[in-house]
Amino acid sequence: MNRAVHHIVSNPETMSITVGPMRFDRPVLGRYPEMWTHIKAQVCGHSVEDNGNLKVMYQRYAELLGPKFNRRFQAANYWLWIGNRMSDRVGNMLRHEGKHWKQYNDDLVFGANEALPYIKEAESDGLLHLVPAIVTFGESPHTIKRRIGQGNWRRVAANSTTRNRLLMNAVRRRKPGVDLDETFARLLDVPSGVMRCINLCEDDEFVAARLTHRLQLPEFMETLHLVRDTMRMLGAGFNPEWSRNRMVEEHNAEVRERNTRTYSPKPFADEWRIEHRGFIATLLNSKLEGVTEGSIQHHCVGSYASLAKSGSYAVFRVEGKERATVGLQALQDLWRVDQVYAACNRPVSAECMEFARYVATQYPSRARRAA
């Protein structure tokens, strides 16, 4: 028998849960371990934790709230907001994305309850895939169609449940003050593979989503760096409709122009270039070239300029099948591969790594160059 002082009381009429003096009128569905006392302290007051003795604190909470309070509180919230009001299929749409998929999203659950009549109607009509859009806008499909336009609504209606869930979660992450209708319409053009990469729904993210070749997080972040740098450097001269190749050209030209004002273009070694199996390696033989490569690829290769000038290090720009940067370290009369990175220090393919080793065998040492 539970002899607790404060009991958990659910009220479906007011959609609230009362525990002692506290009334919770929004869902609290987190699965918190019993050692987490933030909710317990709200109910019982923080004075329970003031004595500093953990054992005494837990015993006191058990006396006031009963055993396993967090588990029972989460269960009460589940049955009030989800279990007794909507189907499992709808409830599962309201979970967090990614590794926290077992947890329900409190805000989505609250929004779904606000639009519950429309959700139940869509489900009864066999239109379960429209539920994420209904939760997003909190309105009927007819009203949503009027807000975003008939063409956009047709795209939503043609989407799978999975894609519409991605849209629902992405639009929730938009920057405060950004218009819901416009943002939702723009997200319809974002490929599903990078939808989770959209964090603030700003212009640079939408441009990067359009230009990313492989729809994965590393490639998206590399493209986003490119877009942000180009926007920052060119200002009003930036064109969001540029192709990726044009964006790279404009970005690299501006980087080189800016670095020319600070770093010397004077070569400290002869030009050297080699092609092999679709890869092209070009020696970076000036401080300007090294710093520019670092700026373009977003890594620290520019800091090796002094070593390269001394002849104990060699840096190469790799193009062709794959874009990368290779660093070779002098070891007596030989060169060994020190590092090979793509943009943002991402790893390269095994084929590119093999090409770097080939470059190390072909690039002449100082002794061979002198001979």
Same-domain check for residues 157 and 243: no
Same-domain check for residues 298 and 355: yes
Number of H helices, E strands in the chain: 18, 8
Same-domain check for residues 211 and 139: no
* 239 inside domain: yes
pLDDT at position 205 is 97
* 90 inside domain: no
Decide: helix, strand or coil at residue 179. Answer: coil
Q: How confident is the model at residue 2 (pLDDT cuts 50, 70, 90)?
A: low
pLDDT tens for residues 86-100? Answer: 999 999 999 999 889
Same-domain check for residues 153 and 216: no
* 325 inside domain: yes
* 135 inside domain: yes
Same-domain check for residues 284 and 362: yes
Copy the structure tokens of residue 351.
């084929």
pLDDT at position 370 is 46
pLDDT at position 342 is 92
Please say which residue of 231, 262, 293 terminates a domain. Answer: 262
Please say which residue of 199, 221, 237 terminates a domain. Answer: 199
Whether 365 shows a pLDDT value over 80: the answer reads no
Decide: helix, strand or coil at residue 316. Answer: strand
Decide: helix, strand or coil at residue 281. Answer: strand
Q: Which residues constitute the domain of residue 230?
A: 202-262
Decide: helix, strand or coil at residue 43. Answer: helix
Same-domain check for residues 195 and 238: no
pLDDT tens for residues 124-139? Answer: 999 999 999 999 999 9
Copy the structure tokens of residue 321.
């099948």
Whether 101 shows a pLDDT value over 70: the answer reads yes
pLDDT tens for residues 219-228? Answer: 899 899 999 9
* 142 inside domain: yes
| Distance between first and last Cα of the chain | 94
- Inter-residue long-range contacts of 8-11, CB under 8 Å, 24+ positions, other chains counted: 8/69, 8/72, 8/73, 8/76, 10/76, 10/79, 10/80
* Residue 9 main-chain phi, psi, to 5 deg: -120, 115
Whether 178 shows a pLDDT value over 70: the answer reads yes
Mean pLDDT on 333-351: 92
Same-domain check for residues 333 and 282: yes
How far, in Å, CA of 343 to CA of 341, rounded?
A: 7
* 1 inside domain: no
Same-domain check for residues 293 and 359: yes
* 94 inside domain: no
Mean pLDDT on 15-22: 95
Copy the structure tokens of residue 185.
């319409």
Copy the structure tokens of residue 216.
């994965």
Q: How confident is the model at residue 63 (pLDDT cuts 50, 70, 90)?
A: very high
Same-domain check for residues 158 and 73: no
CA distances from 239 to 187, 189, 195, 244 (A): 20, 18, 23, 11
Whether 360 shows a pLDDT value over 60: the answer reads yes
pLDDT at position 368 is 52
Number of domains composing the chain: 4
Percent of the chain at pLDDT above 90?
80
pLDDT tens for residues 277-327? Answer: 999 999 999 999 999 999 898 888 888 888 999 989 999 999 999 999 999
Percent of the chain at pLDDT above 70?
97
pLDDT at position 53 is 82
Please say which residue of 215, 232, 262 terminates a domain. Answer: 262
DSSP letter (8 states) at residue 326: E
Which residue matches tokens 């949503």?
Answer: 144
Same-domain check for residues 148 and 193: yes
Region of poorest pLDDT, from 111-115, 156-160, 261-265: 261-265
Same-domain check for residues 324 and 349: yes
* 185 inside domain: yes
Whether 50 shows a pLDDT value over 80: the answer reads no
Per-chain mean pLDDT for the chain: 93
Same-domain check for residues 47 and 132: no
